[in-house]
Amino acid sequence: MPLSADARLVLLRIKIERAKEHLRNLENIALACRGKTLHIVLPQDNSKAGDIIPKRREDVPVYSFEMLAVAGDAIHSLRSALDHLAYQLAIIGSGKPPSRRVEFPIAKDRDTYEAEKARKVEGIRPEAIEAIDALKPYKGGNDTLWRIHQLDNIDKHRFVFVIGNDALFEASWYDAEMPFLIRPRTLNTDSSLFSGVFDSEMENDMYFEIDEAFSETKIGEGGALIPTLSKCVTVVEKLIGDFRRFLN
């Protein structure tokens, strides 16, 4: 007997609720780290090759490596929820197991979206495809969906999320005298950059403003980590609820 729309929503909520749990866990870990700093000596960023590198002393925030892993898990749960939605829509539309190519289509721009969409929505009913199109799931159309897609790809395949200008990280498994230092300007990677952990009102002395020239091409767009993830959860949860009418 076919599943009801409500039953399908229950299956989709598994991933949404997991994302919420990851976000709550992230908030608790971040609060435990809040205000923790270490006074260290850092090289200046504006020295030229061949120069004697000048030094500066700075109080650098100390975070847990677990924060980066949990943030990536939250984003992955959201991306999975969208793909599970596409899978359910394809089952309903075709009446058979969907192709492995089926996924919720999100692209870097409108042209790419239109070029790649057909294979990703194979079997989905035209009215559901029209609803997906109306979301404009590409950069410049629906930046939150595009950001979820990009953050998931970066975390899975390239690099962990980056917080602040310079940050120190520690963990029970990281056995070293000093926490691990991550300096975004030295990474040479398209990592996803966030200006801090909390919003500006909570950040206080931990808040870091990112230079415009450095942050303008980054996926996090200089926003703080927890508010950005919270918005992503809200958007995906509402989107899936709005698609209930196509799940019968």
pLDDT, tens digit (0-9, with 9 covering 90-100), for 48-102: 655 556 677 889 999 999 999 999 999 999 999 999 999 999 999 999 989 999 9
Confidence (pLDDT) at 46: 60
Q: Is the pLDDT of residue 42 over 50?
A: yes
Q: Is the pLDDT of residue 125 over 90?
A: yes
Q: Is the pLDDT of residue 229 over 90?
A: yes
Confidence (pLDDT) at 165: 78
**Which residue is associated with the tokens 């950040």?**
203
Q: Could you give the residue ranges of the DSSP H alpha helices within 121-224?
A: 126-135, 143-157, 200-203, 212-215
Categorize the per-residue pLDDT at 181 as very low, low, confident or very high, splitting at 50, 70 and 90. very high
Q: Is the pLDDT of residue 158 over 70?
A: yes
Q: Which two tokens stand for residue 235?
A: 């958007």
Residue 200 contacts residue 141 (beta carbons within 8 Å): no
Categorize the per-residue pLDDT at 207 as very low, low, confident or very high, splitting at 50, 70 and 90. very low
Query: What's the whole-model pTM score?
Result: 0.87
Confidence (pLDDT) at 223: 82
* Total number of domains in the chain: 1
Confidence (pLDDT) at 192: 66
> If you average pLDDT over residues 100-111, what whole number do you get?
96
User: Which one has a higher pLDDT value, 195 or 117?
Assistant: 117
- Domain that residue 230 falls in: 5-246
Residue of 67, 61, 66, 77 lying closest to 151 (CA atoms): 77
Long-range contacts formed by 127-130: CB under 8 A, 24+ apart: 127/246, 128/89, 128/93, 128/243, 128/246
Q: What DSSP character marks residue 164? A: S
Percent of residues, the chain, with pLDDT higher than 90:
67
Confidence (pLDDT) at 206: 34
Residue 42 contacts residue 87 (beta carbons within 8 Å): no
Confidence (pLDDT) at 215: 34
Categorize the per-residue pLDDT at 189 as very low, low, confident or very high, splitting at 50, 70 and 90. low
Q: Is the pLDDT of residue 112 over 60?
A: yes
Confidence (pLDDT) at 146: 95
Q: Which two tokens stand for residue 107?
A: 């692209």
> If you average pLDDT over residues 212-223, what whole number do you get?
44
Residue 61 contacts residue 45 (beta carbons within 8 Å): no
Residue 216: φ, ψ to 5°: -65, -25
Residue of 7, 6, 8 lying closest to 85 (CA atoms): 8
Confidence (pLDDT) at 166: 86
Q: Is the pLDDT of residue 22 over 80?
A: yes
For every residue of 73-102, DSSP letters joined together read HHHHHHHHHHHHHHHHHHHHHHSSPPPTT-
Confidence (pLDDT) at 1: 67
